[in-house]
């Protein structure tokens, strides 16, 4: 640390939503030249605390001091002008659709009160290239529409734009959830440099190995209350215990499935894209199968093919001995193929709707008779899934956007486990989900899929080892190998997913 005095102090912060006390007397200090992480289970109050610090919520109890002076933010703009920059968990909140890469990078210049009335393309490109260079993003086409680049590229653009302002406090909420390991390493190097230059960084992540690696101190919020501060050296198990107490060390494994009588899904010589290799996979009832690969390995493309979003080039998809060809998502659902997509905010959540509506949406026909929807049965089903999945909420009629990221994810998983299915595909299901919620989801999957199967897609080896029965490795659209989870060789898996 470069100073013995905090540059920002949050004292006794409390926040109430209706009858729910989201935060109660939470206090943290932030020092220049330090990376301070905040951890907590989903719904613990981390996002609420961050939104208060960055001016999103003005009606809170407690005090915030900057350089010893009491401040009261009435809007995010007030916090921004005070030197607080925030990169939110939802990527879509940080970009402007239908603008170019350059315009998104140089957005502050475009919207500045000092900006000239005439649109100056050369100046915007120059500024964008300066910002991109600091994050090694020069390879991007500056004139390309932001909608046409990958999620990880969007995330890096948002972070680059925030870093360009040289903030007093930089808040990063789940910054690595949609970027590759290589990009994460590059981000950490940039954060270390900023820290050494005196910037105070608030880092929020559910990837506790990252928290251990990058943090000088770790603050804990537990059930909306101050849970203490851990100082380096700190171990992941210490963080977990401070967050949620002791958890079971591992899941109870199911017996290995050998009988071909239980074959549920078979892919024969399936070509997903023109240049990709044929894929051959067998998945049996009762299995949780992992599909491991880095970003861009072809995992999502395979999932979208199985779910009827895209058509295969050639090959066969066989479900329960029936060869199927899905023209759309509706046909896939009718054959019992359900899917939790990777980008929850864009492709799964229905904003401004209730938890109940988000759970039951694809299956309204089931709750209808003669064209009349049975609200009673719909509510009963939603309540059952809320209880079974351990969704922390005020009630089935609460807005989904009132939930934490992890509880929103539980709602989307609950949606696709609500009705009988043959196979449920989960694409990066644990992005922005804490270790306790991961355990809740995983245990429910094991209990609810004894006659069906799960294909779990992830770029994180440890996530799959925790949950699955066996792991398939994908690299550049090709299945390179398979490992039983009980006998997994992490070094071998790592070598396969990084193979050139």
At 337-348, the pLDDT tens digits run: 999 988 777 778
Please compute the mean of the pLDDT values over residues 145-154 and round it to a whole number: 83
pLDDT digits (tens, 9 = 90+) for 275-291: 788 999 999 999 999 99
**Quick one: pLDDT band at residue 162, thresholds 50, 70, 90?**
confident
pLDDT digits (tens, 9 = 90+) for 340-389: 988 777 778 888 899 999 999 999 888 988 888 889 999 999 999 999 88
Flag the least confident range among 248-252, 301-305, 455-459.
Answer: 248-252
Flag the least confident range among 33-37, 242-246, 380-384, 446-450.
Answer: 242-246
Strands 423-427 and 263-271: unpaired
Tell me the H-state helices in 274-328.
299-306
What residues contact 380, with CB distance under 8 A and at least 6 apart? none
Please compute the mean of the pLDDT values over residues 245-249 and round it to a whole number: 58
How is the chain split among helix, strand and coil, in percent rounded to 5?
A: 35, 25, 40
Please indicate whether the domains covering 8-244 and 260-497 agree at the CATH topology level. yes
Tell me what pLDDT residue 249 has: 47
Distance from C-alpha of 200 to C-alpha of 190, rounded to nearest angstrom: 13
**Quick one: pLDDT band at residue 166, thresholds 50, 70, 90?**
confident
Tell the burial category of 97 from Cβ atoms under 10 Å away from its Cβ (0-12, 13-18, 19+).
Answer: exposed
Please compute the mean of the pLDDT values over residues 139-157 and round it to a whole number: 86
User: Given 3.30.930.10, 3.40.50.1370, 3.40.50.300, 3.40.50.1470, which CATH number is that of 260-497?
Assistant: 3.40.50.300
| DSSP per position, 365-427 | TTTEETTEE-HHHHHHHHHHHHHHHT--SS-TTSBGGGS-HHHHHHHHHHHHHSS--SEEEEE
Looking at the predicted structure, is the pLDDT value of residue 426 above 90? yes
Flag the least confident range among 15-19, 160-164, 177-181.
Answer: 177-181
Average pLDDT, the chain: 87
Tell me what pLDDT residue 145 has: 92
Tell me what pLDDT residue 2 has: 52
Tell me what pLDDT residue 479 has: 93
Strand order in the sheet with 279-284: 279-284, 263-271, 314-319, 322-324
DSSP 8-state symbol, 256: P
Distance from C-alpha of 83 to C-alpha of 78, rounded to nearest angstrom: 9
CATH superfamily of 8-244: P-loop containing nucleotide triphosphate hydrolases (3.40.50.300)
Tell the burial category of 74 from Cβ atoms under 10 Å away from its Cβ (0-12, 13-18, 19+).
Answer: exposed
* CB 249, CB 227: distance < 8 Å: no
**Quick one: pLDDT band at residue 200, thresholds 50, 70, 90?**
very high
φ, ψ at 296 (rounded to 5°): 90, 5
The two counts, helices (H) then strands (E), for the chain are 18, 22
* CB 357, CB 395: distance < 8 Å: no
Q: List the one residue out of 481, 91, 491, 457 whose CA is nearest residue 294.
A: 457
pLDDT digits (tens, 9 = 90+) for 291-313: 998 877 889 899 999 999 999 99
**Quick one: pLDDT band at residue 38, thresholds 50, 70, 90?**
very high
Distance from C-alpha of 68 to C-alpha of 73, rounded to nearest angstrom: 15
Please compute the mean of the pLDDT values over residues 174-178 and round it to a whole number: 79
Query: Domain locations in the chain?
Result: 8-244, 260-497
What residues contact 371, with CB distance under 8 A and at least 6 apart? none
Asked if residue 158 has a cis previous peptide bond (ω within 30° of 0), the answer is no
* CB 49, CB 23: distance < 8 Å: yes
Looking at the predicted structure, is the pLDDT value of residue 336 above 80? yes
**Quick one: pLDDT band at residue 258, thresholds 50, 70, 90?**
very low
Tell me what pLDDT residue 275 has: 75
pTM above 0.75?
A: no
């Amino acid at each position: 640390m470069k100073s013995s005095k905090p540059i920002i102090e949050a004292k006794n912060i409390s926040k109430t939503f209706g009858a729910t006390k989201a935060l109660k007397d939470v206090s943290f200090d932030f020092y220049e030249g330090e990376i301070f992480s905040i951890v907590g289970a989903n719904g613990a109050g981390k996002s609420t605390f961050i939104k208060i610090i960055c001016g999103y919520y003005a009606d809170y109890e407690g005090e915030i001091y900057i350089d010893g002076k009491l401040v009261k933010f009435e809007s995010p703009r007030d916090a921004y002008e005070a030197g607080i920059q925030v990169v939110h968990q939802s990527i879509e909140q940080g970009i402007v659709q239908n603008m170019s890469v350059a315009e998104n990078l140089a957005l502050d210049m475009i919207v500045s009160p000092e900006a000239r009335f005439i649109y100056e393309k050369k100046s915007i490109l120059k500024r964008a290239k300066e910002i991109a260079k600091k994050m090694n993003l020069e390879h991007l086409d500056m004139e390309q529409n932001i909608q046409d680049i990958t999620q990880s590229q969007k995330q890096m653009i948002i972070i680059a734009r925030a870093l360009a302002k040289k903030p007093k406090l930089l808040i990063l909420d789940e910054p690595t959830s949609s970027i590759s390991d290589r990009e994460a390493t590059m981000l950490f190097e940039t954060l270390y440099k900023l820290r050494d230059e005196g910037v105070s960084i608030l880092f929020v992540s559910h990837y506790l190995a990252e928290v251990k690696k990058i943090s000088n101190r770790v603050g804990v919020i537990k059930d909306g209350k101050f849970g203490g501060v851990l100082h380096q050296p700190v171990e992941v198990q210490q963080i977990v215990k401070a967050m949620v107490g002791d958890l079971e060390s591992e899941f109870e494994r199911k017996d290995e499935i050998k009988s071909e009588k239980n074959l549920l899904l078979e892919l024969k010589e399936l070509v997903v894209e023109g240049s990709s290799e044929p894929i051959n996979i067998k998945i049996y009832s009762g299995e949780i199968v992992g599909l491991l690969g880095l970003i861009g390995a072809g995992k999502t493309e395979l999932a979208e093919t199985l779910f009827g979003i895209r058509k295969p080039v050639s090959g066969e998809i066989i479900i329960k001995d029936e060869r199927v060809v899905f023209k759309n998502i509706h046909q896939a659902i009718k054959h019992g193929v359900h899917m939790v997509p990777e980008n929850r905010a864009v492709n799964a959540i229905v904003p401004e709707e209730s938890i109940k509506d988000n759970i039951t949406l694809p299956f309204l026909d089931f709750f209808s008779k003669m064209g009349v929807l049975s609200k009673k049965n719909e509510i009963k089903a939603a309540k059952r899934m809320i209880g079974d999945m351990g969704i922390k909420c005020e009630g089935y009629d609460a807005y989904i956007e009132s939930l934490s990221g992890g509880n929103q994810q539980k709602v989307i998983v609950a949606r696709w486990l609500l009705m009988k299915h043959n196979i449920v595909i989960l694409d990066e299901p644990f992005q922005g989900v804490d270790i306790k919620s991961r355990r809740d989801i995983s245990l429910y999957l094991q209990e609810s899929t004894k006659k069906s199967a799960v294909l779990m897609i992830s770029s994180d080896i440890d996530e799959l080892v925790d949950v699955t029965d066996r792991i398939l490795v994908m690299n550049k659209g090709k299945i390179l190998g398979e490992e039983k989870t009980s006998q997994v060789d992490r070094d071998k898996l790592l070598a396969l997913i990084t193979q050139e």
